[in-house]
Amino acid sequence: MTFAHLHVHSHYSMMRGPERIEALITAAQQHGMDRFALTDTNALYGFVFYRQMCAETGLTPIAGAELLEKDTAHAAPGGRGRAVLLARGRNGYASLCHVITARHLDPGFSIDRDVRRHAADLVLLSEDPRLLESLRDSVPVYAELVPGRGDRPLRAWARARGIPCVATNDVHFTRPESRRLHQILRAIDRNTTLERVPADDLAEIGRVFASAASMEARLAHAPEALENAARLGEECAVDWEMGQTVFPSYPLDKGAAFEILRARCEAGIVHRYGKRPHPDVQARLQRELAIIREKGFSDYFLIVEAITSRTPRICGRGSGAASIVAYLLGITHVDPVRHNLFFERFLSPERKDPPDIDVDFAWDERDAIQLEVLAENGAPVRAAMVANHVGFQQRGAIHEIAKVYGLPEAEIMNITRRLQGHWGQEDPIEGMQRRPRFRDVDFEPPWPEILAQAQALEGHPRHLAV
């Protein structure tokens, strides 16, 4: 077993982490490590991407997250009210999801209380003696030794109480230079200038993705902590399957889902085509039903129909309009037989992606229908809105970074209003100086650094949307 980093932040630690997952994986490979735990703050936003990249590069993923108490959002890294949770197996991943959900939804969230509620197959690492003492009977706990951050006193305290130690580096950077972008993110998040960001809100410059040899040298006095990091890296490796879509089941009070779907479609033929439809209609229906049955999507069509049947003012669009099943159920209103629409563009035996039916609702009914669906399906347990990550774009990144550098709005606008298109891979200063729009602009410091940092920041998650 070799040392594994068990506390690592990517840029999915919103407005704190400067590193992309790709950079972290590259760092692990350069140090000869075959695994590390992605433990972003209060979130699993990057886990699926991280797992996919690990599969592509031959690394072994480890699922985890850093949890903060509600009143420690701006507390010093390593301070009280913080813990890293690692999942051991699929049950541990479910427990981790429950705790993270409570962190976002419960105003009275407590690491102590909510980890007790969802303790199955979790491992807790923390520098907070209170949490370690309180939770030692609920989950396996480890005193987290971070080099240079009071690790010796914490080790002595843990040994006196029989609590094992584990070595981490609370990784924020792949190289020391990344700390500047970290400082910029914290300034933007606090809506202040770089000089006014409290020092205790910043990760120390030593929080890099260090090699195993470096960690051994810095924690030579705690060999058992290094051994525990390697062992937990083995125990907490993700080994369960993902990637298969699990649809909710349609209430089966009248038989199997496929038979219900077939009966609805037969009734829909009479409504759409009359009692004597053209043979092409029946042939098209049977072909589609066979594929839907083979792919296991009967429940999906019935659930979409249950949602769209709440109002006549709907418009199913996109590739779903090529399905006669959707047309017969009233989900779409375009006849795919008459217009010779290609069903395989929407669904085919070879396609691995699940069906995706886009439906527009009337603007004055949409919110009410949404609330009804969420309420009837037991939100937030079985139904939720899907979040997407809104990233920094070129103009916005330049504007926000220039603000934290303390530049006046007029000077910032003089640059951003001239921007057109995308700078691609070129040097931002050289690229702009070649453009006529910037002929009279003198890019004096700190503009070269602002533009370089904006280029690095582009695409990083800025906030969540629905």
pLDDT in tens, 208-248: 999 999 999 999 999 999 999 999 999 999 988 877 777 77
pLDDT in tens, 123-149: 999 999 999 999 999 999 999 999 999
pTM of the model: 0.88
Q: CA 53, 59, 60, 61: dihedral to nearest 10 degrees?
A: -30
Q: Is the pLDDT of residue 305 over 60?
A: yes
CA distance 392 to 460: 6
Q: Is the pLDDT of residue 422 over 80?
A: no
Q: Cis peptide leading into 446, omega within 30 of 0? A: yes
DSSP secondary structure of 296-310: T-HHHHHHHHHHHTT
The partner residues of 86 in beta bridges, in order of sequence, read: 64, 123
Cβ distance 33 to 256 under 8 Å? no
| Of 165-169, 192-196, 296-300, 326-330, the least confident | 296-300
Cβ distance 176 to 149 under 8 Å? no
Total count of residues recorded for the chain: 466
- Collapsing DSSP to helix, strand or coil, 26 comes out as helix
Q: Cis peptide leading into 277, omega within 30 of 0? A: no
Q: Which amino acid is at 408?
A: P
Q: Is the pLDDT of residue 415 over 80?
A: yes
CA distance 199 to 172: 15
- Residue 423: pLDDT band with limits 50, 70, 90: low
Q: What does pLDDT average to over the chain?
A: 91
| Interstrand relation of 314-317 and 358-361 (parallel, antiparallel or unpaired) | antiparallel
- Collapsing DSSP to helix, strand or coil, 132 comes out as helix
Which range has highest mean pLDDT (229-238, 314-323, 335-344)?
229-238
What burial class does residue 23 get, using C-beta atoms within 10 Å of its C-beta: 0-12 exposed, 13-18 middle, 19+ buried?
middle
| Of 269-273, 345-349, 361-365, 430-434, the least confident | 430-434
| Residue 382 C-alpha from the chain's centroid | 19
DSSP secondary structure of 404-445: HTT--HHHHHHHHTT--S--TTS-HHHHHHTSGGGTT----T
Q: What percent of the chain has pLDDT over 90?
A: 75
